[in-house]
Amino acid sequence: MQLGTILMIIVSLWLLLIIATSKFFIRFENNYWFWFFIGGFMFFYMIIGRQIQFLIPGWNAADDNSPFAVSIRHSRLLLLDICPFFAIFAGFGLMVTKNKLIIRSAAPIALFGGLINLYGELFRLANQYTGKLEAYRFIFIGIGNDQLYFILHVMTTTVALMLICWTTKWTPRDILNQYLFIAIYACYVLSSIQLDRKITNNANGILIADWYIGGEYQSVSKILRVPFPTVIPVGVVITMVSITLIWAMRYGVQELNARIIYPSLAKKQTKFDLKYMWKNLKYNYLKRRNKSR
């Protein structure tokens, strides 16, 4: 079995486990140290394994002074890709505050981006590594200039899914916060590439080089088969629809629990208990049947 297939199975089971254990872990929603550990692990893994090399000259032996390398160095230092930005932003935020409303506003877009990268490219790339040392480096360290490429997206997808599944009191305001976050982040990326002209790629799909060979969105470009710059509005629409659906599913499950499955706990917490749902539906059916007699 190829490495990519093995990783896809493991990651898929891991993500399903996060969803399946929501009933248990949702009790830690307001536990500061629980989220401090999760955020701290992701934050320091990113700082030590990826970001520190862009702050210290000569740290990365694979780096050079070519225009491409300089562009990559500047864009990664400024976090112009949503997944690394989320890893730093959410990781630091979970360590310094108990309020996760702002942090989880970035969770749906991070989940969407992480899933696209994992299932659209990373599992396929993993198949080219057959040796144990190569596999280890690909998973936990990264190959060449792709530092933490795989583990970064696993972490962001994991934490984003945890924030979505293990927190409660989702409201329509959350979707507005998500749109606002995306708008602010897009303005930040646009401002960065205008102020720093050395950035010619790796700008979250805004630059043309991101969509061609060697660009971070080359796989997406092959799937969509839409030329630049038309691909940008198409990608934006797909992204907005996707994060709206993610919010709608989470909010829908919460309302289903609150109004039908577990109405007695509507104001306290959101749970999804199939056994209780079946008992409740059966009770309502028998109650209505007795009334009709």
Among 12-16, 23-27, 226-230, the range with the most confident prediction by mean pLDDT is 12-16
pTM: 0.85
Tell me the per-residue pLDDT of 118-173, one tens digit each, with 9 for 90 and over. Answer: 998 899 999 999 899 999 999 999 987 788 999 999 999 999 999 999 999 999 99
- What are the boundaries of each domain within the chain? 3-276
CB 125 within 8 A of CB 5: no
Residue 269 has pLDDT above 50, yes or no: no
* Non-local CB neighbours of 115 within 8 Å, separated by 6+ positions: 157
Backbone angles phi, psi at 230, to 5 degrees: -60, -30
How confident is the model at residue 118, as a pLDDT?
Answer: 95
What average pLDDT does the structure give for the chain?
Answer: 87
Dist. CA 217–CA 125, nearest whole Å: 14
Quote the DSSP letter at residue 263.
G
